[in-house]
């Protein structure tokens, strides 16, 4: 069973609809106790890092997520859920979960003068790094995914980055670290390609191995 972490800062319904369309067994909960039996977890998120971290602490999901990852439970981060698994965010100078060493950075200040809008919003393709991700297995080459973000992940170890997308810079948008896989884009809003990622995760594809995207 997949547990969807509901901490008042996630795009919960979109994820629910996507998993339901795949016929996946899942449970949404605001209570860590109710997700203790989940054999994999989805950690979505939208909004602001400081607010999200406050909600995680208030609900007890901060320690729950750390404990489950330490126990080897697969975790799929989405958008803000990808950002706040890192150590720190420049957004409101926010300490984060610290599961993956690194910093969440604001897009460069010169982006508007270069004709690049912030937030970055829209459809972009991926460039695979470090062997890619097994969660992208079966995703057609050149597939586009839906992004909405003003900050980007900058892991301390570039070797954990599985994908980047070109937007002024090579924006890291996928990572793998232990049982964690995470994407800056929204698989649940990315059509058939995104559903393939969620299906792969549900079927336990996030094991060692490359991708075919």
Q: Which residues are designated catalytic? A: 79, 186, 188
Model pTM score = 0.94
Q: Which of 84-88, 134-138, 205-209 has the lowest mean pLDDT?
A: 205-209
Residue range 102-117, pLDDT digits in tens: 999 999 999 999 999 9
Residue range 50-71, pLDDT digits in tens: 999 999 999 999 999 999 999 9
d(CA 185, CA 31) in angstroms, rounded, equals 26
Long-range CB contacts (< 8 A, 24+ apart) of 168-174? 168/107, 168/108, 168/111, 168/114, 168/116, 169/108, 170/127, 171/120, 172/129, 173/126, 173/147, 174/126, 174/129, 174/132, 174/133
Residue range 129-141, pLDDT digits in tens: 999 999 999 999 8
pLDDT of residue 206: 66
Cβ neighbors of 169 (< 8 A, separation 6 or more) are: 108
Residue range 13-47, pLDDT digits in tens: 999 999 999 999 999 999 999 999 999 999 999 99
pLDDT of residue 213: 36
pLDDT bucket at 118, cuts 50 / 70 / 90: very high
Dump strand ranges (E) for the chain. 2-5, 26-29, 40-43, 75-78, 86-89, 94-95, 100-106, 120-125, 127-128, 144-149, 151-155, 161-167, 169-177, 180-183
Would you kindly state where each structural domain of the chain is located, as residue ranges? 2-202
pLDDT bucket at 9, cuts 50 / 70 / 90: confident
pLDDT bucket at 211, cuts 50 / 70 / 90: very low
Decide if domain 2-202 falls under CATH 3.30.420.40.
Answer: no
d(CA 107, CA 151) in angstroms, rounded, equals 6
Residue range 144-165, pLDDT digits in tens: 999 999 999 999 999 999 999 9
């Amino acid at each position: 069973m997949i547990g969807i972490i509901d901490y008042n800062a996630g795009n919960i319904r979109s994820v629910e609809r996507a998993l339901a369309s795949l016929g996946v067994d899942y449970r949404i909960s605001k209570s860590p106790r109710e997700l203790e039996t989940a054999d994999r977890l989805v950690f979505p998120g939208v909004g602001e890092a400081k607010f999200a971290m406050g909600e995680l602490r208030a609900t007890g999901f901060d320690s729950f997520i750390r404990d489950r990852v330490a126990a080897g439970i697969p975790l799929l981060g989405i958008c803000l859920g990808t950002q706040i698994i890192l150590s720190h965010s420049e957004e409101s100078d926010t300490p984060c979960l610290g599961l993956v060493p690194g910093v969440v950075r604001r897009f460069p200040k010169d982006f508007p003068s270069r004709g690049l809008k912030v937030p970055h919003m829209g459809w972009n393709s991926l460039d695979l790094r470090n062997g890619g991700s097994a969660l992208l297995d079966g995703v057609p080459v050149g597939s586009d995914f839906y992004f909405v973000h003003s900050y980007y992940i900058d892991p301390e170890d570039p070797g954990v980055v599985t994908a980047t997308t070109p937007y002024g810079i090579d924006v890291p948008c996928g990572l793998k670290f232990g049982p964690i896989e995470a994407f800056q884009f929204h698989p649940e809003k990315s059509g058939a390609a995104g559903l393939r990622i969620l299906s792969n995760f549900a079927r336990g594809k996030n094991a060692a191995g490359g991708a075919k995207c």
